[in-house]
């Protein structure tokens, strides 16, 4: 398989959208590169007494619409091109959601599973020390990402506040509730996706009868989506999968029973009364709605002709390859792109930041009500642009984002 440079792929997407709206060359050039690249190497003392030097990044893509915003990931595969692509993608996503942030991303090249909890805390604090000069609640606001969580964010905020000498909870989002985190953050990405799906099925004439759904991936996002759809009579989840494989049942799957089996055995495979399938098989099932919520590049030119779903809701990042995108659009399959479908997480991160700045704490029902408003409004904005230019929803989302960012850049240049 050819290695795809993720940053080159994002730039191609940018250029495609820029052509549709005749974006001026100067703005295109500015958006093609991050505003700032921070690369750090920092020492951490391990439990053995050995001092190991780690390699980290913070990429700040664009802040025309507000502070840079984006997660910090701890993973052995973290590299410059990946983090640059993710920072660009966060600029696009925040603009699509119309929240006042730009895009950033950070990461440390490390396998956190090889660290003790004490070493993980030391690593987290050392990384924040290394990038403290370029972050801040009005400058750059990190958050959790792959292999990072609320506990790690709490350590990072604590370290940052020691460095600056004052309380600044809004410097990082995704914190625990006890440390200024927002109600509803754990389910935000899935719930945001559900609000978008509810809006989309009316637009694409899928709102008659019970809709059959297949969900690939049962991590936090896929698992919560399974639960939400199971509670809504409009939908019937007939297939789910995890890293070990999948199951399908024409009669539908019960969330509590399936997840109980997964908890006991480590997988959904083998659940009574279902047929075992592979993750690849799940994508090709004859369902109304397909929800990839696991890995990137799942729908490709190799299997796109076997996709039977009428609507694809991308809760994973980049599950549909560009060539497959075009083919699905030509066949009339609606793909709700990741930068719209999974924008609920960053939206509630924005709510957390807003609460911290105002020293407020909102009830979960208020968070969900505000989230629904943002998700539905964003979907309808993207839908209107897709109709105006006769383009698919992914291109429409990029057109909307680039238009909003370039407007903010022009305003700030006055």
Residues 101, 91: Cα–Cα separation, whole Å: 7
Residues 155, 250: Cα–Cα separation, whole Å: 47
DSSP string, 223-254: HHHHHHHHT-TTEEEEEEEETTEEEE-TT---
Give me 214's structure tokens.
């297949």
Strand order in the sheet with 140-144: 36-45, 51-62, 103-109, 68-75, 140-144
Q: Is 222 exposed, middle or buried (0-12, 13-18, 19+ CB in 10 A)?
A: buried
The per-residue b/e assignment along 26-38, b for 16 or more CB within 10 angstroms, e otherwise, is ebbeebeebbeeb
CB 136 within 8 A of CB 168: yes
CA 86 to chain centre: 10
Give me 387's structure tokens.
């109709």
Please state the length of the chain: 414
Alpha helices in 36-181 (DSSP H): 80-96, 117-131, 150-164
Residues that are catalytic: 105
Give the list of residues 6+ apart from residue 225 with CB closer than 8 angstroms, or none. Answer: 190, 193, 194, 215, 291, 293, 315
- For residue 390, which phi and psi values (nearest 5 degrees)? 55, 55
Residue matched to tokens 């820029």: 18
- For residue 248, which phi and psi values (nearest 5 degrees)? -140, 145
- Report the candidate in 87, 109, 78, 89 with the shortest Cα–Cα distance to residue 37: 87
């Amino acid at each position: 398989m050819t290695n795809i440079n993720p940053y080159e792929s994002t730039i191609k997407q940018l250029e495609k959208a820029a052509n549709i709206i005749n974006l001026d060359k100067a703005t295109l050039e500015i958006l093609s590169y991050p505003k700032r690249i921070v690369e750090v190497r920092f020492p951490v003392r391990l439990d053995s007494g050995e001092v190991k030097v780690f390699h980290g990044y913070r990429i700040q893509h664009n802040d025309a619409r507000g502070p840079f915003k984006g997660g910090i990931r701890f993973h052995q595969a973290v590299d410059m091109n990946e983090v640059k692509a993710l920072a660009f993608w966060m600029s696009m996503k925040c603009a699509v959601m119309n929240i006042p942030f730009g895009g950033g991303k950070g990461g440390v090249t490390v396998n956190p599973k090889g660290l003790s909890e004490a070493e993980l805390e030391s690593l987290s604090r050392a990384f924040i020390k290394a990038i403290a000069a370029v972050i801040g609640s009005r400058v750059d606001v990190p958050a959790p990402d792959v292999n990072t969580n609320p506990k790690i964010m709490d350590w990072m905020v604590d370290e940052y506040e020691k460095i600056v000498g004052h309380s600044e909870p809004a410097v990082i989002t995704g914190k625990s509730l006890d440390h200024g985190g927002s109600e509803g953050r754990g389910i935000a990405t899935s719930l945001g996706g559900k609000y978008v799906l509810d809006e989309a099925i009316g637009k694409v004439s899928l709102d008659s009868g019970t809709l059959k759904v297949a969900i690939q991936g049962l991590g936090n996002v896929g698992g919560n989506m399974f639960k939400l759809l199971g509670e809504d009579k409009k939908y019937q989840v007939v297939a789910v999968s995890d890293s070990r494989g999948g199951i399908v049942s024409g009669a539908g799957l019960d969330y509590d029973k399936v997840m109980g089996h997964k908890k006991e055995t480590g997988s959904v495979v083998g659940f009574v009364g279902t047929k075992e399938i592979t993750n690849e098989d799940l994508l090709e099932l004859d369902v109304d709605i397909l929800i990839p919520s696991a890995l990137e590049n799942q729908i490709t030119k190799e299997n796109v002709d076997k996709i039977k779903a009428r609507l694809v809701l991308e809760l994973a990042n980049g599950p549909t390859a560009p060539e497959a995108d075009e083919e699905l659009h030509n066949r009339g399959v609606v793909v709700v792109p990741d930068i719209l479908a999974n924008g609920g997480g960053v939206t509630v991160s924005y709510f957390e930041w807003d609460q911290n700045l105002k020293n407020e704490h909102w009830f979960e029902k208020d968070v969900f009500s505000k989230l629904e408003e943002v998700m539905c409004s964003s979907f309808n904005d993207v839908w209107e642009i897709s109709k105006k230019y006769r383009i698919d929803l992914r291109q429409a989302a990029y057109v909307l984002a680039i238009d909003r960012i370039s407007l903010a850049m022009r305003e700030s240049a006055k």
